Homo-oligomer: A and B are copies of this chain.
Amino acid sequence: MATNDGAVARTARERARAEIMAEIVATGNEHLARDGAPGLSLRAVARDLGMVSSAIYRYVPNRDALLTLLIIDAYDSIGAAAEKAESAVSRKEYLTRFLAVCHAVRAWALAHPHEYALIYGSPVPGYAAPQDTIGPASRVPTVLLTILVDQAMAGALPKAPKPDPAVVASIAPARDFLPPVIPEGTTIRGFTAYSSMFGAISFELFGQWQKVVANGQRARKAFFDQQMRILAEGLIT
């Protein structure tokens, strides 16, 4: 047994490998920010790392694998931002917690537009996301769900009429991860708010509010805040 603190970074090789993997992800993100996902190339990343183009294949088996790494990194990054913002709010301030998440997600998106586009924009043609991305992808929705659960536990959930049986059936898969305290009507409203939030961010980020909403940071933020408050109606108090 060699000198070894924990499971990380044992031999020099392993340490170097972990570092280089991190550099690959970092450089990949830079390229994403400059050229977007379609322009991402293994050769270019290798070049930036001072490697010959074939050397990168020691770390990443192909281009799709690099995309997967970047997708996981992006989901983790946006998830961490949401968690951090939400955790700073006192537990009983449900609406404030919700808005904190919304604004954190939006701020992250504005700061990392190409990473955002990678995970919430159009799928990259020919790329199929593997299972590994599902876990990190659920961090943001999990935070939001926690707010609803806390509210339900406190008996502070607004009444939501039970939807049509067809609608209830449509969200059957969600029952696997949804605690029973959340009624169906609330679930649908929650999902709607959830996709709506990303709709609002995508519209802002992808330029769809051109000539509709003022361009200033202040205006955009106030507009978004109001949108999120509307989405929270009948769901979060």
* Cα–Cα distance between A171 and B174 once the two chains are bound (Å): 37
Looking at chain A's contact residues, is the secondary structure mostly helix, strand, loop, or mixed? helix
In the complex, the answer to whether A207 meets B123 with C-beta atoms within 8 Å is yes
Instruction: Identify the closest chain B residue to A212 (Cβ).
Output: B174
Q: Is the CB of A208 within 8 A of B195?
A: yes
* A167 proximal to B (CB < 8 A): yes
CB of A55 within 8 Å of the partner chain: no
The copy count of this chain in the complex is 2
Chain A contacts with B in 195-225, Cβ cutoff 8 A: 195-200, 202-203, 206-208, 210-214, 218-220, 222-223, 225
Beta-carbon contact of B202 and A198 below 8 Å: yes
B230 lies within 8 A of A188 (CB): yes
Interface positions of A from 153 to 189, Cβ below 8 Å from B: 163-164, 166-167, 169-174, 176, 188-189
Residues from chain B with a CB closer than 8 A to the CB of A70 are none
